[in-house]
Amino acid sequence: MSTNTRLARSPDGGRATPSLENAGIWAVLLKYLGLAALNAMALIIIYAFLDDDNLGLAIVIIVITVFANVVTFVPRLYPIRWMAPGLMLVILFVVYPVLYTIVTAFSNYGDSHILTKSQAIELIERRQFVPDTAQSYSWDLYQNEAGDYGLWLDGDDSDGNRVVAFAIMGEPIQEVETDNEEPPELYEGFRLLTVGEQAQAMVQLQNAIFGTGEDTAAIANRRQAARPLVQQYVFDEERNAFLDQETGSYYLANDKTGFFVLEGGTSSDRLIPGYRVGVGLSNFQRLYEDRTLLTPLIDVFLWTIVFAILSVITTFGFGLFMALVLDHPFIPFPKIWRSIIFIPYAIPGVISILVWRALLNQNLGLITNTLFELTGYRIPWFTDPWHAKSAIILVNLWLGYPYMMLVCSGALKAIPSELYEAASVDGAEAWQSFWRITLPMLLVSVGPLLIASFTYNFNNYLLIEVLAEGNPPIPGTSTPAGYTDILISYTYNLAFGSNQGADYGYAAAITIVIFTIVALITLFNYRYVARWERVGESV
Amino acid sequence: MLRDGKGSVKVSSNLSKKASTKKAIPDHSRSGIVIERRARVIGTTWRMIVILLGCFFALLPIVFVVSSSINPAGTLATQSLLPRGVENLSDMTTNFEELMFDPQSLELLPFWRWIVNSFIVAGVSTVLTLFITMLSAYSFSRFRFYGRRTLLLSLLLLQAFPNLLAMVAIFLILLEIGRLATAIPEAIPFLSFIDWSFMELLGLNALGGLIMVYVGGGLGLNTWLMKGFFDTIPRDIDESAKVDGASNWEIFWLLIFPLVRPIVAVIGVLTFIFTFNEFVLARIMLRDTINWTLMVGLYNFISAEFNRDWGLFAAGALVSGVPVVILYLSLQDQIVSGLTAGSVKG
Amino acid sequence: MKRNRFLVITILFAMLTLIVGIAPSMAQEESLLVWAPPENSAAVTELGALFEEEYGITIEVQEVPFDQIADDLVNFGPVGEGPDIIITENSRLGQLVANGALLPLDLSDISDLFNPSALNIFTYQGETWALPFAWENVALIRNTDLVPEAPATWQEVRAISEELQSSGTAQYGFVPLFGDPYHQFPIITAFGGYIFGVTEDGSYDVNDIGLGSEGGLAGAEFISGLYQDGLADPDMDNDVVLELFAQGELAMFITGPWFSQRVIDAGVPYSVDPIPGADGALENGRPFSGGFGFAISAFSDKALLAEIFIYDFLSTQEAQEVMITAEEGTVLTRFPAFNGVDISEDPNIQGFIDAGASAMPMPQIPEMGSVWAAWGNATRLIGQGEDPTESYSNAVVQIEQAITDAQAEDSE
């Protein structure tokens, strides 16, 4: 057994393989068997992903597997071993989506450009047309004993003469002489299928071709079959273009804009849909160059900061206050009160926000009317900028304080009581002990939470959109914006309400810029975290 | 001796200092039981006033949620507490009956199945989150290693990343994981003797996949929170245990874990509520009605542009709030019982 | 300690078993997957039973909120997680078609079974994209006790409002929904306003924005006058308006058939009237018409089967009646698109349909995206007492700016 009491603080774990010393041979065996199983599983998955052309996810799994192995075999990484299960999940479900967003920001991903190029090609190649020279029919479906399908074709040729034919897969199409208007029940061993039977066969016959060689027929849709039915667009790898078999012209792939554009045509003569391409920095450029965007931006940015800070201060302040008030030995039924005050957190946010919205309605809202009767002033909650802002802070306080209260109750109890005893021996006043002991100790444990709360509110899209939709509007702006819009609601509304529909690439670029801002603020705040941590260590 | 909160009542010599400290009011009396009792009454009284005001603030909107839930018209009732259309008592239960007991609507919208799903998702996510978070937090709090701060900071920063597009990425990940059920036998035919369909349980439209997403997504913040509390536990405890020859695992499991129970309960409650009430991710990941969680089901009542069925939604929200509040009630003792600090000096 | 570890493992194992127990059910052999919004999912499930009986094909229904169906289809359809058939509203056609997400339909030989307006709503870029089952537009709801005669013009509406208010009979004569361009559009059009001009070939001219036209500004001026002179108040949404109507404090407002039941429940004698016109302009204001229909996903590999469902099955009276039938004890919330569906029982629908005689389909072109935000803000500002001409003109500037930005980017 080790007697190294400084182990916990030694930079490299101090010992070679600390965990092995206490563990029996079976535990060691179990560990390696487990790792072997994990590796085997990972290899299978990686192979399957690669086989499926899914490079991105394969790399992620490789990273995760390598990580697990390195952590297990490198003694220096012993502390990381404790976090391995968590970090593996974080890599898959947090880091990978972040990288995905970053990649998206450099693409034109959005409406009209949702598909990858190969998906778009696949979709466009599905389209078919009936050539001018082709014969078009109405159709009925037959089947023989052997289960082969036959197609009864009935139509008029270009001269208006009736043409009837019967087509079987892989055999020449036979012309049929008949005077009957209706298709026969039986034809050469083939039986006319009922509507239900036809329906059953449809999935199988989705791309079926009847006839043989040059002379083929196929079902175009419910209304008609065509002889022949021709694929309209054929992709030519070499020319990187679609050949339109109907007109003979080419649609060239423009890998800068992500459209197949008609050769010699204007940029609007193009195939629908387009596809996803990398567009370099142009999403960021657009953000930077868009002067109209910038005019309301300063107002919006300032309000975002104020909103986030005030939200943290009010929820934390009120939550802590309630936690302190409730933390008292002589209060009757403390559990009941605590639970009631906690209830707002148990109710889904959207319904609460909408109830608040109704309560604050300027005409019939209960709160507005009560205040009107008390003060004679009808508060214009959602039409006056300042009142709208205070309404938002108020509702966010209601939504957020139970969380803070809960965390503070736990944190208060985690403060060692000896500290208070020492303080009270010193004769510290209540206020002093709050400022000198309670608050600093509390910040040790909930400090990071306050930062997280700040970043959460910085991007609190749901609250802003549901409560006030950014209203009231700022008059005279060059881009629609509201007084209560925060950065993310303002910019996302631009990215999603824009002219081309949703523009995920632009939204991703915005996301990254906003993230950079938040990250800088967080880094700034982090210095305090470091300080709090030292407070904790000095205990 | 070293207990606080309610425990300190028994230690009479400790009482005055304790009470005055915690009451956070100026204590002008340094002696005399009468004055002390007066201070106690005043302290309790103002606290009760504050508490009642707090309850009023907390319940004000809730009252209208309740009112909407008994509103057979299905609208958000905010004009009067007893909504129009309520003529007798049975009208008030219309929404609850339709939601929970009407066989016809249950066939379409299996309320009880949603409840079960929600409990599975929230329960499993909470247990896994707590377990994984505790391990990480312990390491962050007790070991000092190269890159520790960077790693901690990265976790915090990752949490701040606006996750709008993350949804699409997560959808694709789960889609591919679910497809492994058929992709593996296709890619590696000699392994097809194994039934790989269990992979579907971790993919789209399955609770397992959603649970993984929840656990992975919430880890950063929870680790921070947990680590903060681990930091408040004096190191002397593990140092002395180490002298006695305890392994890290033993220190973690036998010494630290009992001490941080309050915060484990706190994070447990928070994670449970979050996963129970989450619907944005769940709606996209769970497609079939039968696999929905309660919140996905409830939100569909109000997703119509007009004629949102607030009545059903409010009734469902209240019903779903009950287990959450019960959970909180039952874990309260854990949360506020505080440190059993006896072991500190032991 | 060992026991603890054992416990943890046991719990985890038990939970894993639970998850395994909740395995997703495997897909059936021949089936169609339909995405339906919550409002219609019960009806589609009922349709599915009928269809299965007749054709032996199962219809699986997944409930997806209305505003998500189009987004989810274009994002998740290409990777094979989309449905075969969706229910969509016409306003989403622009987005769906731009992403190549729908197959065009050929309804020529069943078109006479449907109301031409309902079919027209789903025609975009020369093709029909959905088989409609319902459509809707707004009308003027009037308290017949307070206002016995239907007003013919908005000027009359204003006169009635003034009279009701000054005589103390009711607080309001007519109030527009606050900041709601959709519901204020019929007023704007009555004065000759429009959104986009129409070119000779019938398509929209995005360079001619009619909100800033003489008629558009006159409409804005009129609405502004209601607020300025205390005849209407800001922050009045549907709930407020319906409540005031029920209290007899509001004589007239604009709404659609979706609130038919609530209008009846208000317990006030009422009439559903066409939108008034304006002196010297249109005879009737023009509301937007919107439609709901079934469309086939272009990503589906069961298109032929889906066509049987749409062409053969959904064009029957039986199927269309299922889609339109109101919940027991309530009234219809939309008009049937199918001619054969009987609506004579319904107290309001005919009134709404009559009001729809002057309706126009909402433009589906992508440029509408930038119209809503700018126009919505202008509408709100007018309600808050800002200058109507300035507000509308600025909205036009914002829309023009967005359109030129988009064109510039597009031509790169």
Q: What is the DSSP string of A390-428?
A: HHHHHHHHHHHHHHHHHHHHHHHHHS-HHHHHHHHHTT-
| Strands of C284-328, DSSP E | 288-296
Phi, psi of A486 (to 5 degrees): -100, 170
More confident residue, C7 or A175: A175
Q: Is A338 on the interface with B (CB under 8 A)?
A: yes
Q: Is the CB of C54 less than 8 angstroms away from the CB of A482? A: no
pLDDT digit string (tens) for A349-405?
888 898 898 889 888 888 998 999 999 999 999 999 999 999 999 999 999 999 899
- CB of C406 less than 8 A from some CB of A: yes
Residues of A in contact with B277 (CB under 8 A): 348-349
CA torsion A5-A7-A11-A13 (nearest 10°) is: 160
Distance (Å, whole) CA A80 – CA B35:
57
Q: How far is C76 from chain A (nearest CA, A)?
A: 10
Tell me the pLDDT tens digit for each residue of C108-144.
Answer: 889 999 999 999 999 998 899 999 999 999 999 999 9
Chain B closest CA to C4's CA: distance in Å?
Answer: 9
- Distance (Å) of CA A362 to CA A375, A379, A483, C237: 15, 7, 18, 10
pLDDT at B256: 84
Residue C34 phi, psi dihedral angles, 5° rounding: -115, 135
pLDDT given at position B42: 84
- pLDDT value at residue B4: 37
B164: nearest Cα among A507, C95, A278: A507
How far is the alpha carbon of A69 from chain C, nearest alpha carbon, in Å?
A: 23
Q: Residue A535: its pLDDT value, please? A: 59
Tell the burial category of C31 from Cβ atoms under 10 Å away from its Cβ (0-12, 13-18, 19+). Answer: middle
Closest CA to B264 of B226, B300, B316, B297: B226
Q: What are phi and psi of C250, to 5 degrees?
A: -130, 130
Q: What is the DSSP letter of A171?
A: S
- Per-residue confidence (pLDDT) for residue A19, from 0 to 100: 46
Residue A13 pLDDT more than 50? Answer: no
- The DSSP call for residue C99 is T
Which residues in chain C have Cβ-Cβ distances shorter than 8 Å to B115?
none
Which of C236, C303, C366 is the closest to A501 by Cβ? C366
Q: Do residues A308 and A454 touch, judged by C-beta distance below 8 A? A: yes
Note the pLDDT tens digit of each residue in A442-497.
Answer: 887 788 788 889 988 998 988 998 898 888 999 988 888 999 999 989 888 888 76
Tokens of B329: 């009630």
Q: How much is the pTM?
A: 0.87
| C281: amino acid identity, one letter | A
SS3 A281: coil
Using 50, 70 and 90 to split pLDDT, how confident is the model at A407? confident
- CB-based contact, B316 to chain A, within 8 Å: no
Chain B: give the shortest CA distance to residue A494, in Å.
Answer: 14
Contact C226, C176 (CB under 8 A): yes
Chain A: give the shortest CA distance to residue C101, in Å.
Answer: 8
Q: Which two tokens stand for residue A241?
A: 């273009």
Interface test with C, best of A499, A504, A506 (most C CBs within 10 A): A499
Cα–Cα distance, B152 to B224 (Å, whole number): 8
- Between strands C58-63 and C31-36, the pairing is parallel
Altogether, the residues listed in chain A come to a count of 539
Count other Cβ atoms within 10 Å, centred on residue B32: 11
The distance of Cα C348 from the centroid of its chain, to the nearest Å, equals 18
Please name the residue of chain C whose CA is at the shortest distance from the CA of residue B174.
Answer: C81
Q: Give yes or no for a contact between B35 and A319, defined as CB atoms under 8 angstroms apart.
A: no
| Nearest Cα to Cα of residue A167 among A93, A228, A125, A86 | A228
Question: Taking a contact as any Cβ pair under 8 Å apart, which residues of chain B between 327 and 346 contact chain C?
Answer: none
Helices B148-159 and B111-142, packing angle to 10 deg: 150
Neighbours of chain A (3+ CB pairs under 8 A): B, C
3-state SS assignment for residue C58: strand
Beta carbons of C22 and B197 less than 8 Å apart: no
pLDDT in tens, A232-253: 999 999 999 999 999 999 999 9
Residue B32 pLDDT: 59
Residue B64 in tokens? 């209208």
DSSP state of C160: H
Spatial separation of the C-alpha atoms in residues B87 and B85, rounded to whole Å: 6
What are C377's two structure tokens? Answer: 């803000």
Contact A411 B149 (CB under 8 A): no
Kindly tell me if the per-residue pLDDT of C378 is higher than 90: yes
Residue to substitute from A17, A76, A347, A488, interface B, most B β-carbons within 10 A: A347
Arithmetic mean of pLDDT over chain C: 89
Angle between helices B33-69 and A297-326 (to 10 degrees): 130
Beta strand A162-168 pairing with A174-175:
antiparallel
Residue of B120, B172, B301, B307 to mutate when probing chain C, most C C-beta within 10 A: B307
Pairwise CB contact (< 8 Å): B221 & A449: yes
Q: Is A72 helix (H, G, I), strand (E, B) or coil?
A: helix
Q: Does residue A275 have a pLDDT over 90?
A: yes
| Size of chain C in residues | 412
Token pair of C99, please? 């992403």
User: Could you give the C-alpha distances from A450 to A407, A454, B69, B270, in angstroms and in order?
Assistant: 11, 6, 35, 15
- Output the CA torsion sign for C89, C93, C95, C97: positive
Tell me the chain A residues in contact with residue C403 when contact means C-beta distances shorter than 8 Å.
Answer: 499
How far apart (Å, rounded) are the C-alpha atoms in residues A144 and A188? 9
| More reliable by pLDDT, B2 or C351 | C351
Tell me how close the Cα of B106 comes to any Cα of chain A, in angstroms. Answer: 22
Q: Amino acid letter at C293?
A: G
Both structure tokens of C165: 């208010």
* C-alpha torsion A519→A520→A526→A528, nearest 10: -140
**For residues A101-125, average pLDDT:** 92
Quick one: tokens of A126?
A: 């599905």
- Average pLDDT on C28-54 reads 89
* Cβ distance of B175 and C20 shorter than 8 Å: no
Backbone angles phi, psi at C242, to 5 degrees: -65, -35
- Asked if the Cβ–Cβ distance from A500 to C369 is below 8 Å, we say yes
pLDDT by 10-residue block (mean), chain B, 346 residues = 34 37 44 72 88 93 88 73 74 86 85 93 95 92 88 87 82 90 87 85 91 91 85 82 85 85 86 90 89 90 77 88 86 66 33
Range with the poorest average pLDDT among A165-174, A520-529, B153-162, C271-280: A520-529
Does the pLDDT value for residue A335 go beyond 50? yes
Mean pLDDT of all residues belonging to chain A: 86
